[in-house]
Structure 1
Amino acid sequence: MSRDDGLVQRRNVSRELGEGVSKDPGDYDEKKATEREEDFQDCDSKETRLTLMEEVFLLGLQDKEGYTSFWNDCISSGLRGCIITELGIRGRIELEKAGMRRRSLLNRKVLLTNDTPTGDVLLDEALKLMKETDPPETVGNWIEYLSGETWNPLKLRYQLKNVRERLAKNLVEKGILTTEKQNFVLFDMTTHPLMDSVTKARLVKKVQDAVLTKWINDPHRMDKRLLSLICLAHASDVLENAFVRLNDDDYEVATRRVRELFELDFEAESMKPNTNEIMWAVFVFFIK
């Protein structure tokens, strides 16, 4: 995409999304990233806790209209990738050992390590399906099964249905969205416009800062959830929504740094110490 095309696209998206958030510089405060559930529970209690699915969905939501773009055919599989990643970060699943021949991430099976419910209905539904599946499946297979993108009729029972609607209802319960009915001439549609603009503004600023003022040129020093958010938002084709109101120079820097992330050798990155192989396997799936 040329610079001019990028500017036109940002202006168009900007009109769709309504008022946004400006970027304020800040000092970087590095926090230790962990894979355990208790660290997720220890998030700042002053902020509404959101799952990766909810954050990606919120980035893709058109604020006033209350729904995601009809033309976005990536967000469905992207949200399933969020589910797999979240379960990996929370320590519920892991990849089987690579073995002496060092099999690739997408050729290794997903193993259940902890079947304790997470408290999130969608995550727990996926966790239950994995627990009941024998033999285990790969990360790529699970994303496709949960999305319903399989030719095997025996695997259709794994599909998670109405994911976006269920995420919207979760966000309504958290006071971030509201519920309305809109008439589209031929049919009525339930929509969920943004009600709490502060939470979304905070989310957008977090993404902007991650690739600008708080950029760390080493993915292993980034918080795993934040790195996952950036990569999965990009895979879901909603990351651009966080950049639409950046000035031209910052936009160029932000998009270049995202490209740098996706130019990494994810297989090699997954072999480094203190990393999360599930997370990297999901990234590999979306760039294969």
Structure 2
Amino acid sequence: MERPSGLVQRRNVSRGAQPTPGSPEAEADDRRPDDADSKETRLTLMEEVLLLGLKDKEGYTSFWNDCISSGLRGCILIELGLRGRIELERAGMRRKGLLSRKLIVKSDTPTGDVLLDEALKHMKETDPPETVQSWIEYLSGETWNPLKLRYQLKNVRERLAKNLVEKGVLTTEKQNFLLFDMTTHPLTDNVIKCRLVRKIQEAVLSEWINDPQRMDRRTAALLVLAHASDVLENAFAPLPDEEYELATWRVRKLLDLDFEQESLKQNALEIMWAVFAAFAK
């Protein structure tokens, strides 16, 4: 049976209650390494999505993938939200929708990640504040407003790849493509990527939790943004047909949620649901 391409992805699931978004406990919880991961191989959402999209031996993403650029910017927003740096303005009496509410800088304390801190600096300097959807466009450089082009984050994939080189996940090579040379970043070995793929598969199969509010936030974000970046299929392709169908069906359930309603539930991370809504639009 031929499978559809470019469907979905994700990571692992927690079974306990979620801490309050933005609290010290939440930030510590969201940045903790997985039990099986060493401190040196702890990856951000951006690095995980890029790693899924990279060809193992060739060391570059598909030339036909025009989704990963904006997907990585969505990862940046959620990563900042998980670390308690940004949030949405209050909904107000009229209960403005997620995509109508402005993004507010909650804390400008540096994260230690150059890309995150660069994006945070842009958001802090912007007055009046902008929406989540606008920020995805600005950070991607996909805006017709020339005054907003200065907010574009440049060479994001290359910078993330260099981070992964420093963490020992990738290496650096030069490849000749007839008319030009290109720097590529093949895997040093496939241990870290295999572990990531396995966690994604287990999260939607053996460890599936049929409740988005009990699901680990990073897991939910990884699934949705890997799908938005058109790299989730890379994690599901090795599965047998029956497991593949079950995994993609469960991710589809996540994608079909009412993000507005989910954002209203107790301890919901609103910025995450707003990013989901921006990609679903």
TM over 0.5: yes
Distance 1:40 1:96 in 2: 22
The residue matched to 1:5 in structure 2 has which SS?
A: coil
Distance 1:231 1:91 in 2: 20
TM-score w.r.t. length of structure 1: 0.90
Matched, 1:119 2:112: yes
Contact 1:76-1:236 within 8 A present in 2 as well: yes
Shift, 1:263, TM fit: 1.0
Contact 2:30-2:218 within 8 A present in 1 as well: no
The residue matched to 1:175 in structure 2 has which SS?
A: coil
Distance 1:248 1:277 in 2: 35
Matches within 5 A, 1:200-239: 200-239=193-232
Matches within 5 A, 1:7-22: none
Distance 1:211 1:83 in 2: 23
Matched, 1:185 2:174: no
The residue matched to 2:62 in structure 1 has which SS?
A: coil
2:38 to 33, 46, 49: 46
Distance 2:229 2:264 in 1: 25
The residue matched to 1:94 in structure 2 has which SS?
A: strand
1:30 to 7, 12, 15: 15
- Structure 2 CA distance for partners of 1:41 and 1:265, relative to 1, 3 Å: closer
Question: In structure 2, what is the equivalent of residue 19 of structure 1?
Answer: none
Worse-superposed segment, 193-202 or 232-241: 193-202
Worse-superposed segment, 159-168 or 39-48: 39-48
- Structure 2 CA distance for partners of 1:64 and 1:31, relative to 1, 3 Å: farther
Matched, 1:273 2:270: no
- Structure 2 CA distance for partners of 1:31 and 1:66, relative to 1, 3 Å: farther
Contact 1:84-1:278 within 8 A present in 2 as well: yes
Matched, 1:5 2:2: yes
1:58-95 alpha-carbon deviations (Å, 9 max, x no partner): 01010000000000000000000000011111110000
1:234-275 alpha-carbon deviations (Å, 9 max, x no partner): 010000000111001000000101111111111111111111
Distance 1:248 1:182 in 2: 35
Tell me which amino acid in the other structure corresponds to 1:153. P
Distance 1:224 1:90 in 2: 12
Shift, 1:32, TM fit: 4.5
Task: Compare the two structures and name the one with the higher helix fraction.
Answer: 1
Contact 2:30-2:82 within 8 A present in 1 as well: no
Contact 1:175-1:196 within 8 A present in 2 as well: no
- Percent identity between matched residues is 71
- Structure 2 CA distance for partners of 1:41 and 1:234, relative to 1, 3 Å: closer
Bigger RCO (CA 8 Å, 6+ sep): 2
1:167-214 alpha-carbon deviations (Å, 9 max, x no partner): 000000000000001011111110000113111111101110111000
Contact 1:32-1:223 within 8 A present in 2 as well: no
Matches within 5 A, 1:37-186: 37-44=27-34, 46=38, 48-186=41-179
Worse-superposed segment, 161-170 or 194-203: 194-203
Worse-superposed segment, 148-157 or 41-50: 41-50
Task: Name the Cα RMSD after superposition.
Answer: 1.6
